[in-house]
Structure formats: C-alpha cells, structure tokens
Amino acid sequence: MRFAQRLNNVETSAIRELFKLLGKPGIISFAGGFPDGAMFDVDGIREASAHVLAHQSGPALQYGATEGYNPLREQLADFMTAKGVSGMTPESLIVTTGSQQALDLIAKTLLDEGDVALVEAPTFLATIQCFRLYGPQVLGVPIDADGVRVDLLEEMMVQHKPKLVYLIPTFGNPSGAMLSLERRLRVLELAVKYQTVVVEDDPYGDLYFGEAPPPSLLALSDRVPGSRDWLVHCGSLSKVLSPGLRVGWLIAPAALLQRATMCKQFSDAHTSTFAQATAAEYLRSGRMPATLDHVRSVYAQRAATMGAALQREFGDGLAFSQPKGGLFFWARLTGARGQLNDGATLAKKAIDQGVAFVPGAPFFSDHPDATTLRLSFATADVAKIEEGLQRLGRAFRGD
C-alpha cells in the first residue's frame, strides 16, 4: 500500500514508546499530561447529562451544527467574557473536539508546504506533529521562565516570515512558564507589526496557584489596536472539567473561523452534541467556580511538594523554576560536579527505580536540549510525590 507523502514528516513519538513501559506494577508516574481523574466533578456531570437526556434529548442525540451546539456556544462566550475578553458572542467561537482539533483546523486552514510556523522551544509535542502533517517547517523560539523570548521571536519573525506563531503563554506544556504581562503586550504588537497570525493555546490558564496570571493575549488585545485581527485562541474543558467530553473551542477572526468551520464539517461534521449539551448544562448549573477552586488548591499543594522534593533530592544537579500554575515542572540537569545530565538516561534509570517522567528533548521542534525533563505533579497525591521523588533521587545519584 502506498501512503501519502505527508506521513514522512512525522515519526512515532519517543514519549509514546516510553508510555508502553508505564504498565509496570507499582510505578509512580510523573510522565503523563493528564489531569487527576479523582478531581472530576462526577456528580455534577451526572446531573448535567441526566438533565440533558430528560429535557433536550432531541437535539443532544441528533446531528448538530458544525459550529457547535448553541447553548454551549452561549455558555462559552460568557465564560470567556468573565475572563476579560471583550465582544464575545456565541458566533465568536466554534466548538471543537478537544483543543487538539482546534490545532488541526488551524493548520489545515493556514499552513502549506514550505510555510514556517514558529513555536516555543520547548512546546506541546502534539502541536509540532499536527502542524508537520500539513507540510510546514516548524521552528522553535527559545523561552525562559517568563515565557517566549520576545526579542528572539521578533528576530525569527523578520528572518522566517512565519505563517503563524503558536504560543502556550500561560503555564505551558511542557515549560510551565508564564509569559509576563510586558511580553504579552509585545507579542500583540509583533502580530500587528508583522501582520502575522498568533495562536494562543490556553488549556491551563485557569489552573493558577495563588495570584491569577496576567490576562490572556485575547483579553489584552483591546490594548493593542489591530491585534485582535491576528489573534486565534484555543480553549478547552479538558484540564478543568473532563478530557473525556472532548470539548474545546476556537476563537478567531471571522474569515478564519468560517474556513475552519468548513474544514471541521469534513473532519467530523460536528463535536458530539451529547457531550456538548452535557458541558453546556454543567456550565449553566454554576458548579464550575467551586470545581476550579478545588482543582487549583489540590494542584498548588502538589506543586509545592514536588518543588521542595526536587530541591532536596537534586540540589545543584537540577535547575528549575517553581511553576505558578498548570500541571508541570520543567527542569534542566545541570551536570554540576560531574553529575548525570542526560534526561533520557535518567528516565531509564528512573523506570528501574519505579518512577517515571518524560525526558524533555522530544518537546523541541529542532535543536533538542537533552538535559531537560518534564515532571507532572497532577496525578500523584502528596505522599506519592514524596515517595516518587525519593526514588528519582536514588536513580539520579545511582544509589
């Protein structure tokens, strides 16, 4: 069988291979990118879906508009308005099958063979692969603890004339970094200056610990005239409510939204109306604020525990910033005093000790940094995090 050329642009992920090892009994995993299922508001979702089947079974089980189920579009518009975005109406967004589909539709709508897409280095692996299936070159822009380096971003925009710039400005995967307010405004200015689409992927922005992060690029766009015309925003209920519903959304200028809708029509016709109606009813029920409070406080505690334990176990062997939200620690093995500094090697030793994480190299579209690691604190409780880090410390030291 002869397959399409585009498949040559992607490879099976090294992380996927690692995940096959996670079945080992008793392993403590910091490898996933999942939220903790124990925090899902099952009662709330049960009530919402029962309400839907009692009162809206017709539309909830029938074909629906490609753009999304209208009661959900209304709820999501309100949700975004509450987060400081101006001018939101149900027509400002389309519902997608998770935000992964939003990424696919953006790529399908915008990217040709030979185009350049700029992403953060490191960034979400499934974005790199998703984009590459449409043929562009994907290039990484360096980041630091305050997010993407806007000086280098501008240099690369000038040099490569990208079709789009993709960022996860708030608690990014894998970096955990939070783009500063100053840099956010600069990104918006660059979008206007170079007439370039900026994609803001924001699945983690609601998962902050303590103080709220700066507003999203979308919410800030009123401060930079013209920037809204270049802004694309992807949202998701996966990290805050349930990934199993596969409910995400895409906000974009009308011309792009219309074309993304056409592409979606031929991708999956529409997102499950049953899942959409359930999500809409959940949001309408008013339970989301309490759910968010709960999730934030649990993750905050786990992040604090993991940070202290990493410090204790690795000392100067590891450099990292304490995340202010999200699900991830991003760290770099320093190699100080001749210690182990290869992420993949440590990952293998860690599995032998009964603990898992993912090496950071695969998260780079180019120029991978082999000294990096990603650890998720989301799914292990505080005791498991302590135990897991002790094991990781033994793997690191070779005890």
Buried/exposed code over 367-390 (b: 16+ C-beta within 10 A; e: otherwise): ebbebbbbbbbbbbeeebbbbbbb
Spatial CB neighbours of 314, under 8 Å, sequence gap ≥ 6: 331, 393, 396
Map residues 104-133 to x or -, x wherever contact with its own copies holds by CB under 8 A: x---xxxxx-------------x--xx--x
Asked if 44 and 371 touch (Cβ cutoff 8 Å), the reply is: no
Distance CA 237, CA 72 (A): 12
Q: How far is the CB of 118 from its own copies (least distance, A)?
A: 16
Handedness of CA 288, 293, 296, 299 (dihedral sign): negative
Spatial CB neighbours of 215, under 8 Å, sequence gap ≥ 6: 83, 84, 184
Q: How far is the CB of 66 from its own copies (least distance, A)?
A: 10
328 binds its own copies (CB under 8 A): no
Local structure of 201: helix, strand or coil: strand
Asked if 171 and 178 touch (Cβ cutoff 8 Å), the reply is: yes
320 binds its own copies (CB under 8 A): no
Q: How far is the CB of 237 from its own copies (least distance, A)?
A: 11
Radius of gyration of the chain (CA): 21
Site for its own copies in 64-103 (CB under 8 A): 64, 96-98, 100-101, 103
Map residues 221-250 to x or -, x wherever contact with its own copies holds by CB under 8 A: ---------x-------x---xxxxx----
- Start-to-end CA distance of the chain, whole Å, equals 50
Query: For its own copies, which is the closer residue by CB, 33 or 359?
Result: 33
Q: How far is the CB of 358 from its own copies (least distance, A)?
A: 15
Site for its own copies in 184-203 (CB under 8 A): 197
**What 8-state DSSP symbol labels residue 212?**
P
Measured in degrees and rounded to the nearest 5, phi and psi for residue 18 equal: -60, -40
Q: How far is the CB of 231 from its own copies (least distance, A)?
A: 11
Site for its own copies in 146-165 (CB under 8 A): 163
How many CB atoms sit inside 10 A of residue 73's CB? 23
Site for its own copies in 259-288 (CB under 8 A): 259, 262-263, 265-275, 277-278
Q: How far is the CB of 288 from its own copies (least distance, A)?
A: 15
Local structure of 35: helix, strand or coil: coil
For its own copies, which residue of 6, 223, 312, 397 counts as binding (CB under 8 A)?
6
Number of residues that bind its own copies (CB under 8 A): 72
Q: How far is the CB of 238 from its own copies (least distance, A)?
A: 8
Query: For its own copies, which is the closer residue by CB, 191 or 395?
Result: 191
Q: How far is the CB of 251 from its own copies (least distance, A)?
A: 15
In sequence order, the β-bridge partners of residue 147 are 144
Residue 163 structure tokens:
């079709």
Map residues 334-373 to x or -, x wherever contact with its own copies holds by CB under 8 A: ----------------------------------------
Segment interacting with its own copies, rule: CB under 8 A, options 61-69, 85-93, 169-177, 180-188: 61-69
37 binds its own copies (CB under 8 A): yes
